[in-house]
Structure 1
Amino acid sequence: MSFVQPNQKVEQPFFNIIQDRRSIRYFDTEVMIPREEMKEILQQATLAPSGANLQPWRFLVIDSQELKQKLLPIANSQQQVIEASAVIAVLGDLEGYTLAEKIYGMAVDAGYMPEETAKSFVERYQRLFAGMSQENVLRKVLIDSGLVSMQLMLVARAKGYDTVPMGGFDQTKFVEAFDIPERYAPVMLIAIGKAAKPGHRTVRLPIEDVTFFNEIPKA
């Protein structure tokens, strides 16, 4: 039996997931993800952090072949749209703060906070967001939606699926074609399924090129 010694570094499976994730362009068209499993992936993804825990992300899962064909020209004819098991449209809810009472009420029911604390949080954040400019609300929603999107892709990889995030699509046509209410801002599309071909290996800049401690060099 082996024991981990103090200060001994042990590679965790999570790091394998990070290193194995690739953006996939070609998917196995025979693979379909059961909806219960899709819900499980999304549920795990929503454990991502969000400002004030307001969770403003929303998911439109497009797994109908007919609707994927409809999406294809809107997504610049990227073939992964129709080859993948599904395409998840990540949307930011600009009125997500209106669910504060439900969210904090659930926290009270779970025993995570006193009722009075929850009430004060609800009042504070509803007042804050209601008085905020649309631009600032959108900025916060985009940050939170980006966090959940990355977590979604890592959860998918952990469950043996592959993904590719797509920012290249016509947001205006997408909103019109799928009748998206005004309160939801399209953030990205994520194709998900099983890879038919491995994704290309890529390089990353040295950490010294992208990280600075305490101050940014002037030159």
Structure 2
Amino acid sequence: MKELRENQLESIMKGRRSVRVYQPNYRIPREELTAIIETAASAPSSANLQPWRVVVVESEEGKKKLRPLVMFNTRQNDTSSAMLLIFADTRYYENADYIYNLAVEQGKMPPEVRDQQLGMIKSYFPSLPPEKSSEVTRFDCGLFTMQLMLTARAYGYDTNPMAGFEADQLAEAFGLDAERYVPVVIVSIGKAAEAGYPSVRLHPDQITFWR
């Protein structure tokens, strides 16, 4: 059996902790946050339609607005370098032409494959029932969010994913169309001031079924 040697990815994954208190005066440079988001956006998504949208709340004004909406997660809001609000764009399929034309322009896809894929996308995704469309976009946003946290760890930052927030108020509070943009998760990011607790995981024998 082959063994992993000097595997940085394993170290990043197993070293990740949910950190709730950060160094309050530390600010992540905007170019680094942009690079983290760009890397995270390499995550797979249904038909490569990339439904995730990110609102970066880093200003004092923005955090003051967010504070009453994050319930019991105020420590993260008050001390983090930024709070990343991850939304699902319910009209994600409207970017299909742009994405697939760009793939052809960059030589990543033959025109005939683009045409075939676009035909399928335009007949399938817009007609999905709302609950199924929500399932698709939330799943994809989850993949993006996990890559976001691991990328942040690779840059030397810590994160905490949060589901405790006022979902019905979040989009409107930050100037987004609440009918179109659905909040999925909030991720705090910064330099840890208090280490996150290590946690246990179920053994593969407890979560795997061999058939």
TM-score between the two structures when normalised by the length of structure 2: 0.95
Inter-partner Cα distance in structure 1 for 2:27 and 2:198:
26
Question: Per-residue CA shift, 1:151-189, capped at 9, x if unaligned?
Answer: 000000000000000001010121332232121110000
Q: Within 1, Cα distance between the matches of 2:172 and 2:18? A: 28
Matched, 1:187 2:184: yes
Q: Secondary structure at the match of 1:66?
A: helix
1:203 maps onto 2:200 in alignment: yes
Supply the AA of the counterpart residue of 2:183.
P
Q: 1:124 to 1:74 in 2, by over 3 A?
A: same
Of 146, 152, 155, the residue aligned with 1:150 is 146
Change in 2 beyond 3 A, CA 1:26/1:111 = same
**1:88-134 deviation line (CA, Å, top 9, x unaligned):** 00111111111011111111011111112212211210210111111
Q: Which amino acid aligns with 1:64?
A: S
- Pair 1:164-2:185 in alignment: no
Return 170-179 or 79-88, whichever deviates more: 170-179
Q: Which amino acid counterpart does residue 161 of structure 1 have in structure 2? A: Y
Q: Tell me, what secondary structure is at the counterpart of 2:202?
A: coil
Partner of 1:217: none
The 2-side partners of 1:145 and 1:49 are apart by: 10
Q: Report which of the two structures shows the higher radius of gyration computed on alpha carbons.
A: 1
Number of equivalenced pairs: 209
In structure 2, the partner of 1:60 is 55
State the alpha-carbon separation in 1 of the partners of residues 62 and 78 from structure 2.
9
Contact 1:65 1:82 in 2 (8 A): no
CA distance in 2, matches of 1:111, 1:178: 37
Cα separation, 2, equivalents of 1:89 and 1:117: 34
Unaligned runs of 5+ in 2: none
| Contact 2:72-2:164 within 8 A present in 1 as well | no
SS in 2 for 1:185: strand
Choose from 41, 64, 74 the match for 1:46. Answer: 41
Match of 1:10 among 5, 9, 14: 5
From 104, 127, 131, give the equivalent of 1:131.
127
Shift of 1:69: 1.7
CA-CA distance at 1:16 after TM superposition: 0.5
What is the TM-score normalised by the length of structure 1?
0.92
Distance in 1, matches of 2:176 and 2:109, equals 35
| Partner Cα distance (1:125, 1:135) in 2 | 18
Matched residue of 1:204: which SS? coil
Residue 114 of structure 1 is matched in structure 2 by: 110
Which consecutive aligned stretches of 4+ in structure 1 deviate over 6 angstroms post-superposition?
none
Partners of 2:4 and 2:82 lie apart in 1 by 38
**Contact 1:166-1:188 within 8 A present in 2 as well:** yes
Partner Cα separation in structure 2 for residue 169 and residue 77 of structure 1: 8
* Residue number among 86, 92, 99 corresponding to 2:82 in the alignment: 86
Q: Does 1:72 align with 2:67?
A: yes
For residues 210 and 37 of structure 2, the distance between their equivalents in structure 1, rounded to whole angstroms, comes to: 36
Contact in 2 for aligned 1:56/1:94 (Cα 8 Å): yes
